[in-house]
Chain A
Amino acid sequence: MKKQFRDDGTRFRLGSTIILSVLAFLILLPVILVVISSVTDENALISAGYTYFPKKLSLDSYYYMIKQSEMILRAYGVTITVTCLGTIISVLITTMLAYPMSRPNFRYRNVLAFFVFFTMLFNGGIVASYIMWSRVFQIKDTIWALIVPNYLVTAFNVFLVRNYYVTSVPISIIESAQIDGASELTIFFKIMMPLAIPSVATISLFTGLIYWNDWINGLYYLTDAKLYGIQNLLIRIMNNIQFLKVSSNVALLGTMNVDLPGTSVRMAMAVIGILPIVIIYPFVQKHFIKGVVLGAVKG
């Protein structure tokens, strides 16, 4: 009898492994196509299209990018700056907002909690916020347009940090610091901020990913291509491809200074857009999964 059960379990384990392997393979396939296309010879690509088994490989598209590197390096620079600045500011403000909410003797803690929470329930919509940022704050075509609107403080992150303080940092630490004569500001910056590191790791990961992948702020607030990060550069390339297709007027294209990379270079650019994430991800997967479980539903 017993052996039969074990066999059932083993069979299931084997079955699960096989099905998941197939699924994982299917999930990877589209990414693989892009990677292979990026190292396919341009002529082979034009004759046979994007394919998994190209006739001829070449690194031309990567050489092209190095030669034309100014545009790409610039975009990388913008994206990296925005990601770093945005994440640092966001984590700082978020923690500063979360900490008072965790203090049981803080008079406005419930008011504050509701104030933050309500932003999850109702929003004024993009129209009003677009007009406010672009007309009142004149944020268009500045680096701040990529950092400030939408992402700096989210209720999700605030509650994540607050709950961490409430459940994992004993209040006696604060009390003993108070007895030693430390001011509230000292307590926060010298003691509570460093103590929040585990939850800060999780929210910086989410925030960093949001800034790296963001193209919506750029879409709304940028008209100047100089400030395009990697994502907005990719959008522009795709738009130029579409534009070329609809208009057969080549002379017009010449005057518009459209940069249209080859079919293989397009995919190479997508690859370099993904690369940094793929490199960093294995090291932070643990925090990422923890954050997802805590958050339960996508923010």
Chain B
Amino acid sequence: MYLREREGYIPLRSRIRAKAPAPRKNLRPEGRLSMTKKKKKQQRASSAPLLLIAAPGILYLLINNYIPMFGVFLAFKDFNYRKGIFGSAWCGLDNFKFLFKTHDAWVMTRNTLLYNFAFIIIGTIAAIFVAVLMYELGQRSRVKFFQSIMLLPNLLSWVVIGFIVYAFLNADTGFINNTVLKALNIEPISWYSTTKPWPFILIVTFLWKYVGVNSIIYMASISGIDKGIFEAAQLDGATKMQQIFRITLPMLKPTIIILTLMSIGRIFYSDFGLFYQVPQNSGRLFEVTQTIDTYVYHGLMELKNIGMSAAAALYQSVVGFLLVLGANALVRKVDRENALF
């Protein structure tokens, strides 16, 4: 598609393609293919030092990422700290049976999915809106100025953001209760124990943190559109509005589709910080703030219910894995270049 052909456009997922990008051919004319078999063998014999260089990284990934993958069997065990990992008795699917019998399983799945849908839809619209406006600014210095401000929230940790939200919402000294509601003559609200406003609060917080970052990628995409197209449209008498709706947005379509599919691949995961720090882990809000990630944390660290927690984590990993595969298959159909594999 034209996305690929545009000059200066950086493929979204160039980093993870197994095959090397095109420019390499020019840089390395004497690549593998032109080598004779004998020479190839000689070259290949030298893989030991290279493996040695890669060894620390390989070892780290083995320990940090691969060993826990085998740890998923914990979900099928009645884990007991005293008996240890291998000493604990097997319990088959009991953990899953218990998990899916609870109200929590439904709540956390619903919350994770609904919030992610809201984030994808509202987040994408907001990011494109900002990107289009940024592009219309024209001046680089102005773009840079606005970008620095909009990127600021992305640099803050969820802990600090939790403090910021607390400054607004806490019952005694919060800005909303003390200033806004007082001015409107409304009774103070105990925000951290009222569930109703939280979907709104969480979505606003999410937008506040991410709109700047997400707009960058769309802006890069818009900058890749051939200026000639806009000039031609202008000569034909198209207004700016028409240019945006008839040129910019249609040209962005592939980027939007790909980014959306990628987010759908991660729809079973949630931002732990957003759902843990921003509502201050308030138990009364769990009905609207509990996601799979916070559930796993509570099970593991607070309730010490390893079995259930492991079951929930495996549920997330497996469904998440299938969703990534599915999303990737769809991306491949849309645009092979940007598929993960």
**Chain A residues at the B interface, C-beta cutoff of 8 Å:** 1, 5, 8-9, 11-13, 15-17, 19-21, 23-24, 27-28, 30-31, 33-34, 37, 45-46, 48-52, 92-94, 96-97, 99-101, 103-108, 110, 112-117, 119-132, 135, 148-150, 152-153, 155-156, 158-160, 162-163, 166-167, 170-171, 175, 183-185, 188, 209, 212-216, 219-220, 231, 234-235, 238, 242, 263, 266-267, 270, 273-274, 277-278, 281-282, 285, 288-289, 292-298
Contact = CB atoms under 8 A, between A and B. Distances in A.
Given A115-B58, A166-B21, A294-B10, 7 more contacts: A8-B239, A20-B146, A49-B175, A112-B58, A242-B282, A266-B163, A267-B167
A99 B178 contact: no
Contacts of A107: 44, 47
Contacts of A135: 84-85
B133, B149, B160, B165: which has the most chain A beta carbons within 10 Å?
B160
21 contacts: A17-B142, A20-B134, A27-B211, A31-B164, A49-B173, A92-B56, A99-B53, A105-B32, A124-B70, A128-B70, A128-B74, A132-B67, A135-B85, A149-B64, A152-B60, A163-B15, A238-B163, A277-B156, A281-B155, A294-B14, A297-B217
B56 A124 contact: no
Contacts of B262: 297
Interface in B165-188: 165-168, 172-175, 177-179
Contacts of A273: 157, 159-160
B47 A106 contact: yes
A296 B16 contact: no
A103 B313 contact: no
Interface stretch (B110-118, B195-203, B246-254, B294-302): B294-302
B316 to A, nearest CB: 7
Interface of B: 10, 12-16, 18, 20-21, 23-24, 27-28, 30-32, 35, 40, 43-44, 46-47, 49-54, 56-58, 60-61, 63-72, 74, 84-85, 130, 133-134, 136-138, 142, 144, 146-153, 155-160, 162-168, 172-175, 177-179, 208, 210-213, 216-217, 220, 234, 237, 239-240, 259, 262-263, 272-273, 277, 280, 282, 296-297, 300-301, 306, 309-310, 313-314, 316-317, 321, 324-325, 340-341
Contacts of A267: 163, 167
B71 A127 contact: yes
B13, B47, B173: which has the most chain A beta carbons within 10 Å?
B173
B341 A117 contact: yes
A125 B173 contact: no
Contacts of A19: 133
Main secondary structure of the interface of B (DSSP, over half): helix
Contacts of B317: 122-125
A267 to B, nearest CB: 6
A235 B301 CA distance: 16
A231 B64 contact: no
A170 B46 CA distance: 19
Contact of A130 (B166, B220, B300): B300
Contact of A33 (B14, B69, B164): B164
A20, A92, A242, A263: which has the most chain B beta carbons within 10 Å?
A20
Contacts of A34: 163-164, 167
B341 A51 contact: no
B156 to A, nearest CB: 6
Contacts of A126: 296-297, 300, 313
B150 to A, nearest CB: 6
